[in-house]
Structure 1
Amino acid sequence: MSERDRKYTVLFVDDEPRVTSALKAIFRREYEVSIANSGIEALSIMESSRFDVVVSDQRMPGMLGNQFLAQVTKLYPQTMRILLTGFMDKQAIVDSINEGEIYRFINKPWRNDEMREVVAEAALASEIPALPTVSDTQEASAQFKKTLSSHSTKTSADSDSKTKDHALLMMEQAKDIRHQIRRFCSDHSIMIYGTQNIEQAVAAATSRKNIGVAVIELSEDTRTALQTINLLKRARPEIITIALTEEFDAHTAVDLINQGQVFKYLAKPIDLAGFQTTIENAFVRHRFLKKHKAAHKRFKVEKTKGSVVSGLQEMFGRLVGNTDKNSATT
């Protein structure tokens, strides 16, 4: 059997045997299915077998699902990761975003059609390279650090040239946080586009192709913020989004992955040491996605519905059209 003809491999992990048996029965005709009843058992199986997709329950004794998937991320980054969530443990869900890099959350009890669709998408995406190459990572990290160390000795013209590939979009209402991020960007020679509302954010993302990272606050109108993140990700999938919040929420965290594929979900006020590492890694990922467009499949988002999204899509299309016309005449 050729590599192209082989069945995709899926590992289902749940501490309840009836659950893993049910999942195996659903998928065994289309996939090569393995099952495990704990994270430890699953890691042992993965030592000798390659898996395209891993679907894990969250609440398991000994090792929680998010802890297991964090290990999978480090050891087997090519494997796509899906988390089943029956009980919404807020911190565990947040950790699964920041450490496990989940492709999707699926609620228990699941719908078979939804599960089939998500697993099929994940299986196809597993063929795409998972991470930047070592050389890409080293190059991007070295350039970021070089920019930081040389900032104070550069002229304004040199600084403008240096920052053209490191642009950040910010949508944040709190003045102290805005100032904190602006100071950080200034110290690290990152160009920043501050926006106050959705329309400004969409306009900036459309017209400023050098924007690689978006830092978006989740204000009281969380739903609108989520729809904004979703639209930006669908329109500019190479933009890496970081969500800021005053207080973590499990349901919002699930939506941030399923609808926005956010890179990190961070609490305010910002921890600058951790923020620097996050921004550096975000730009590394942006450069990789910009160069390897096929990798966008690994970060596909669900489509959202509603009048806000419809209005934003219309505005986005109008802005894109104007940008294309301007480019054609210059």
Structure 2
Amino acid sequence: MEYGHDHPTRHILVVDDELSILHAVERELKGRRLGRYAFTVAGFTDPRQALVAAERQTFDAVISDFRMPGMDGLEFLKALAAIQPDCPRLVLSGQTDMDSLVRMVNETHIYRFIAKPWPAYMLQAALAQAIDYAETLAENRRLAEAARQRQLSELLPEPAAVEQLLIVDDDMGVLNSLARVLTHHSKSDGLFAAILAEQHGQPRRRTLAEDHISVQITPSPAYALQMAERVAFSCIIADYRMPEMNGIELLQRFAARQPDCSRILISGQIGETELAQAIQQAHIFAFVEKPWSDFELKANIALALAQHRLQLENRWLAAFMRPEAEPAASGVFPG
């Protein structure tokens, strides 16, 4: 991190096979500053060269094109995440398809999708938000790890016995079907637990067994927002097309009330533009297409719950390491 003229410098990795786009991004990021950051740009037309650079230097964010010869944006971002998992990922593209966009959401959890041509100064704003978010998580994780090394994790409150899930869909048939899927214990639930523990080293994570989750359903987005005032939810799953308000608006407003709640959008009638909006505005964790695969649905929710639990633990331990915001040493995590 570098400082000068009260503007901390952040290092951005940009990958696009068109040299003109690289130059345009660099001009925008190094031009008139709208926020508190100054940016340096490392631009590459070859994703593989960008990965070599990422082995040598830590970047504060990455902006990647999607359609590139040799290695597309999805493959590149997955490889980059293996090298720098904390680097927030933004996609800048004029050509993509629904299947690829869904995979980028679910497999690399991109922070933003920005369509070409992009509005003036959008990149500066999007990068600032992505960097602020990533740095907050990284600082919480650093403090939490320090607390664990001091064996303070033993002071963690007991996890809530039941994870609270909320499903919002104007079709009661869909609501009942989703509730049945999520509360029915199957042999695959043990597989989810094993995969998640191996990938993330979190043996405290739970499966989606019926005695570990409580599923609440409503066809009304307005009522869902009222419920957010009374119940702490771990995950909300919302349909996109609903007469009262669409799922993107609902998830956005729900996040304002419960920012730690993982957000999943589900739909059989959504286009690339709307899915991009869901990434931009609601910061969805995953997207599930109707008709859904039970395995995919449960896997995405299990990962969302795991992320929710880890973030709560890190935030609690980080607060414990900050005397000015020391948490109570007892109690339970919200469900």
Query: What TM-score results when the alignment is normalised by the length of structure 1?
Result: 0.72
Distance 2:99 2:244 in 1: 19
Separation in 1, partners of 2:103, 2:217:
28
Say whether 1:185 aligns with 2:177.
no
1:253 Cα deviation from its structure 2 partner = 1.0
Change (3 A) 1:90 1:120: same
Stretch moving more, 46-55 or 241-250: 241-250
Q: In the alignment, which residue of structure 2 is the partner of 1:284?
A: 306
Residues 274 and 222 of structure 1: is their aligned pair in 2 closer, same or farther, counting only changes over 3 Å?
Answer: farther
Check the 8 A contact 1:67/1:96 in 2, yes or no. no
Q: Counterpart of 1:20 in structure 2: which amino acid? A: L
Other-structure match for 1:91: 99
Q: Report the alpha carbon displacement of residue 229 of structure 1 after superposing the two structures with TM.
A: 1.0
Q: In the alignment, what sits opposite 1:12?
A: 14
Pick the aligned partner of 1:236 from 258, 277, 282.
258
User: Following the alignment from structure 1 to structure 2, what is the Cα–Cα distance between the partners of residues 131 and 110?
Assistant: 31
Counterpart AA for 2:279: I
> Quick check: which one's helix share is greater?
1
CA distance in 1, matches of 2:21, 2:109: 24
Shift of 1:226: 1.4
Specify the alignment match of 1:101 in structure 2. 109
Alignment partner of 2:235: what SS?
Answer: strand
Q: Cα distance 1:264–1:130, how it changes in 2: closer, same or farther (>3 A)?
A: farther
Count, aligned residues: 269
Q: CA RMSD in A?
A: 3.0
| Mapped contact 2:78–2:107 kept (Cα < 8 A) | yes
Gaps of 5+ in 1: 137-160, 295-330
1:266 aligned residue: 288
Alignment of 1:71-220 (within 5 A): 71-129=79-137, 164-183=161-180, 184-185=182-183, 187=185, 188=209, 189=211, 190-209=213-232, 211-219=233-241
- Tell me the SS of whatever aligns to 2:282: coil
Report deviation, 1:124: 2.8
User: Deviation at 1:3?
Assistant: 8.6
Q: What is the CA distance between 1:32 and its match in structure 2?
A: 2.5
Structure 2: runs of 5 or more not aligned: 32-37, 146-157, 186-208, 317-335
Tell me by how many angstroms 1:269 deviates.
Answer: 2.6
Residue type at the aligned position of 2:112: R
Letter of the structure 1 residue corresponding to residue 47 of structure 2 = G
Deviation of 1:101 after TM superposition, in Å, equals 0.9
| In 1, Cα distance between equivalents of 2:313 and 2:231 | 17
Deviates most, 60-69 or 191-200: 60-69
Q: Which residue of 1 aligns with 2:326?
A: none
Contact 1:10 1:33 in 2 (8 A): yes
Q: What TM-score does the superposition give when structure 2 sets the normalisation length?
A: 0.71
- Which residue does the alignment assign to 2:60? 52
Answering whether residue 34 of structure 2 is matched by residue 26 of structure 1, we say no
Give, in whole Å, the separation in 2 of the partners of 1:93 and 1:169.
25
CA-to-partner distance for each residue in 1:204-259, whole Å, 9 max, x for gaps? Answer: 122112x1111111225596221111101122111111111114521111011101
Task: Give the C-alpha shift of residue 272 in structure 1.
Answer: 2.0
Name the CA distance, whole Å, in 1 between partners of 2:259 and 2:135: 18
| Residue aligned with 2:26, SS | helix
CA distance in 2, matches of 1:52, 1:46: 11
In 2, distance between residues paired with 1:37 and 1:105?
A: 19
Q: Identity of aligned pairs, percent?
A: 23
CA contact (8 A) 1:91 1:250 kept: no
1:41 paired to 2:43: no
- The verdict on how the C-alpha distance between 1:130 and 1:254 changes in structure 2, with shifts beyond 3 A counting, is farther
Change (3 A) 1:231 1:264: same
